[in-house]
Amino acid sequence: MRELWYNNGEFMKRNTLRNYIQELLIDVLKSDFPLHANLDFSLAEPPNRDFGDYATNLPLLLAKRTGNKPKEVAKTLIPRLQGLDRDREAAFLEASERAGFINFRFYPEYLLKILAQINADGGGFRASQAGGGKKILVEYFQNNVAKPPHVGHVRSAVIGDSILRILRYLGYAAESDTHIGDWGTQFGILLSAYKEFINSGGERTQIASSPIEELNKLYVVTTQKIEDQPELLEKGKQEFAKLEKGDTENRSLWEWFVAVSAEDFEKYRVLLDILPFDHALGESFYLDKMPEVLADTKKLGLLTESEGAQIVNLEDKKLGVAIMVKSDGATTYLLRDLATIKHRISRQKFSKILYVVDSRQAHHFQQVFEIASRLGYVKGSGMLLHVDFGFMSLPEGAISTRKGSVVSLKNLIEETQKRTLQIIEEKNPSLPKKNMVARQVALAAIKYFDLSHNRKSDIVFRWDEVLDFEGNSGPYLQYAYVRISGILRKLGQPPPAQFAGRVKKIAFDQTEMRLLRKLAKFPDAVEDAAADYMPHIICTYLYELSQDFNSFYEAVWVLKEKDKELKNFRIALIAACGTAIQRGLGLLGIEAIQEM
């Protein structure tokens, strides 16, 4: 198949079947309906897979513009499309009108060519060049110093990790940054809490065993005390002010907090099995860049004083006021974010920054983006994007530190792994490397649970659902891959490479055709997932693909098939299916395993 050109915003040069049809439709529109050449038609899977592979609503839209009936419009479009197709790929078995839509169906022989290509070296499902090496930064898993990560951080981590993998797969020069929260008033509170702890006879070594947890305890206890003793908050603010001014004792304590936390974060990253970060610059890294931002703001006359604080008024955009410097002279998160943006764009040359942060910060990012735009740090819209996600709650209500209902990242993984090991002991006690497998299955369950939901939805965390490995779950996908691996292992040799789809005379089983048709849509799923930074689209696709594989697996035999060509076809089919699952899971940060 030749290279197809299709311009849909950022996506150029993807050779997918869907883009091929899209190209035909646009060409016909341009030559036959030049007045409506820019019509925004749809091209998607039809509601019923018996209708065909793809469907477009173009006749309905054209009918409205031209005053004709959809059926009539379709009748003139279809021969033109078929004619173009004959000159180009000769892919269509059928293009027919139904209820104002045109449904397209590919020749089985054509799909066999696609199948051969998927299995051939350098063929389908390889990383693409679509991104053209454009530099994009993805920021996620923003840990805070002295705060252990919990299920909420897992969501940011796995969504960000998946988006990074997808962008890289599509040929972007995507880089990651954790943007550690290592600055702010909370460190004043922590400093005073720690000093109090030492003064009352505590030892530094008591902290050192598990620093993040111990420091967090001190912090939590103090914030609880603040409710009754507001003077403690003032004390904390004073300690932070000292820190900002460079007080030696506070500075060295802070450096210690940051250092021990950084070690722990790396452990958590490894525990979660997400990609290493390209950058791990904390908020404090940008401190010396804040004066520049303030100067820029002043120069443009955006900065005003109000009740002792320095603010930017965004009331005209209904965004309220943004505080840059507090009345006590301390800087804000917002100002540090602006300094960060300036650095990332002017120094690091990123052309786009994605913030994978929960939706509660939508207002904050709107303010930041608006100010960055007024300051001229970004050109046009779309350089800065809040990839927001809904937050997690428990069946009994919101996750609350005070009620102790927080599920820590560590606990989540350990519990799930324990449960997985139990299941393995029941189902496959002789499995080698049980612990390693249990870890991969557990991570699959956890990551898939997070990734399979539309990221914008709020979700309810339920242990019994995370630990349910049947039905739509990560382990279900892994299991399909295990079955495929099992067959290929028994085959004892690599799948026949020369298979080129010569099984014309065979009546295909319905499950075979369904699997083959679904397989050809892998690139669509990746493209759609990338377009809106929605990994769950890949989850849905892989789940449907695995379902189709399992139906196929129940319906026909592969190794016991006597007809040699048919057997080779089936081997090629499952080999390609395995490739799709393995690569697809890879884009989700989930390991495809051979046995479980």
Q: Tell me: does residue 27 bind RNA (CB under 7 A).
A: no
Q: Does 98 help bind RNA (rule: CB under 7 A)?
A: yes
Among 13-21, 108-116, 169-177, 361-369, the segment contacting RNA (CB under 7 A): 361-369
How many helices (H) and strands (E) would you count in the chain?
A: 21, 14
Residue closer to RNA (CB basis): 56 or 117: 56
The 8 Å CB, 24+ separation contacts for 30-36 are 32/76, 32/77, 32/80, 33/62, 33/65, 33/66, 35/65, 36/61, 36/62, 36/65, 36/66
Coil, helix or strand for 278? coil
149 binds RNA (CB under 7 A): no
Number of residues located near RNA, criterion CB under 7 A = 98
Piece in contact with RNA (CB under 7 A), picked from 126-134, 315-323, 496-504, 518-526: 315-323
Burial of 187 (0-12, 13-18, 19+ CB in 10 A): buried
CB-based contact 279:176 (threshold 8 Å): yes
Calpha distance 565→503 (Å, rounded): 6
Judged by CB under 7 A, does residue 389 bind RNA? no
From 72-80, 183-191, 285-293, 372-380, give the range in contact with RNA by CB under 7 A: 183-191
Cβ count within 10 A of residue 533 = 21
User: Which burial class, exposed, middle or buried, applies to 276 when counting CB atoms under 10 A from its CB (0-12, 13-18, 19+)?
Assistant: exposed
Near RNA by CB under 7 A: residue from 29, 253, 311, 412: 311
Complex with RNA: residue 82 or 540, whichever CB lies closer: 540
185 binds RNA (CB under 7 A): yes
How many angstroms separate the CA atoms of 285 and 536, rounded?
34
Q: Which of residues 460-489 bind RNA (CB under 7 A)?
A: 460, 462, 465, 468-473, 475-476, 479, 482-483, 486-487
Q: For residue 364, state whether it binds RNA (rule: CB under 7 A).
A: yes
3-state secondary structure of 219: helix
Of the candidate residues 332, 340, 416, 579, the single one contacting RNA (CB under 7 A)? 332
CB burial of residue 366 (10 Å; 0-12, 13-18, 19+) = middle
Task: Give yes or no for residue 333 binding RNA (CB under 7 A).
Answer: yes
* Contact with RNA (CB under 7 A) among 267, 299, 436, 557: 557
Q: How many residues does the chain have?
A: 596
- For the segment 48-67, give every residue that binds RNA (CB under 7 A): 48, 51, 55, 57, 60-61, 64
| Residue 262 touches RNA, criterion: CB under 7 A | no
Q: Binding to RNA (CB under 7 A): which residues in 400-459?
A: 420, 423-424, 427-428, 431, 441, 452-454, 456-459
Q: How far is the CB of 536 from RNA (least distance, A)?
A: 7
444, β-bridge pairs:
none
Q: How far is the CB of 150 from RNA (least distance, A)?
A: 15
Burial class (CB in 10 A: 0-12, 13-18, 19+), 279: middle
Query: In the set 330, 446, 516, 545, which binds RNA (CB under 7 A)?
Result: 330
Looking only at residues 519 through 548 of this chain, which bind RNA when binding is defined by CB under 7 A?
536, 540, 543, 547
230 touching RNA, by CB under 7 A = no
- Choose one: 36-44, 224-232, 245-253, 286-294; the region binding RNA (CB under 7 A): 36-44
Cα–Cα dist 443/302, whole Å: 48
DSSP 403: T
